[in-house]
Structure 1
Amino acid sequence: GTSGTINSKTYPLEFAKTDPDVVVNGCACPMWVPLVENGEYDSPGADYFIEKKVNELMEMDPLIDTIILGCTHYPVLQHKIEKYVPSNVTVVPQGKIVADSLKDYLCRHPEMDERLSKYGEGRFLTTESVEKFQASAKIFLNTDKTIDAHRIIF
Structure 2
Amino acid sequence: MNVENAIGVFDSGFGGLTVFKAIAQQMPNYNYIYLGDNARSPYGDHSFDTVYQYTLECVEWLFAQGCPLVILACNTASAKALRNIQQLDLPKKYPSNKVLGVIRPTAEVIGEMSQSKSIGVLGTRGTVRSESYLIEIHKFFPEVKVYQQSCPMWVPLIENGEHENEGADYFVRKYLDELLRQSSQIDTILLACTHYPLLVPKIKAQIGANINVVAQGDIVAKSLLNYLERHPEVNAHLGQQSMQSFYTTGDTQTFDEHASVFLERSIKSIKVKV
CA contact (8 A) 1:126 1:151 kept: yes
Secondary structure in 1 aligned to 2:150?
A: coil
Larger fraction in strand: 2
Whether 2:233 is the aligned partner of 1:111: answer yes
Q: State how 1:57-76 maps to structure 2 within 5 Å.
A: 57-76=179-198
Q: Which 5+ residue runs of structure 2 have no aligned equivalent?
A: 1-122
CA distance in 2, matches of 1:131, 1:39: 14
Q: State how 1:31-46 maps to structure 2 within 5 Å.
A: 31-46=153-168
The equivalent of 2:270 in structure 1 is 150
Q: Which 5+ residue runs of structure 1 have no aligned equivalent?
A: none
CA distance in 1, matches of 2:130, 2:264: 29
CA distance in 2, matches of 1:72, 1:15: 18
Q: State how 1:11-90 maps to structure 2 within 5 Å.
A: 11-90=133-212
CA distance in 2, matches of 1:92, 1:149: 29
Q: RMSD in angstroms over aligned alpha carbons?
A: 1.4
CA contact (8 A) 1:122 1:148 kept: no
Secondary structure in 1 aligned to 2:170?
A: helix
Structure 1: 4+ residue segments shifted above 4 A: none
Which shifted more, 111-120 or 122-131?
A: 111-120
C-alpha displacement at 1:78, in angstroms?
1.1
Which protein, 1 or 2, shows the higher relative CO under an 8 Å CA cutoff with sep ≥ 6? Answer: 2
C-alpha displacement at 1:54, in angstroms?
1.0
Whether 2:132 is the aligned partner of 1:10: answer yes
Secondary structure in 1 aligned to 2:147?
A: coil
CA distance in 2, matches of 1:41, 1:152: 27
CA distance in 2, matches of 1:62, 1:96: 27
Secondary structure in 1 aligned to 2:149?
A: coil
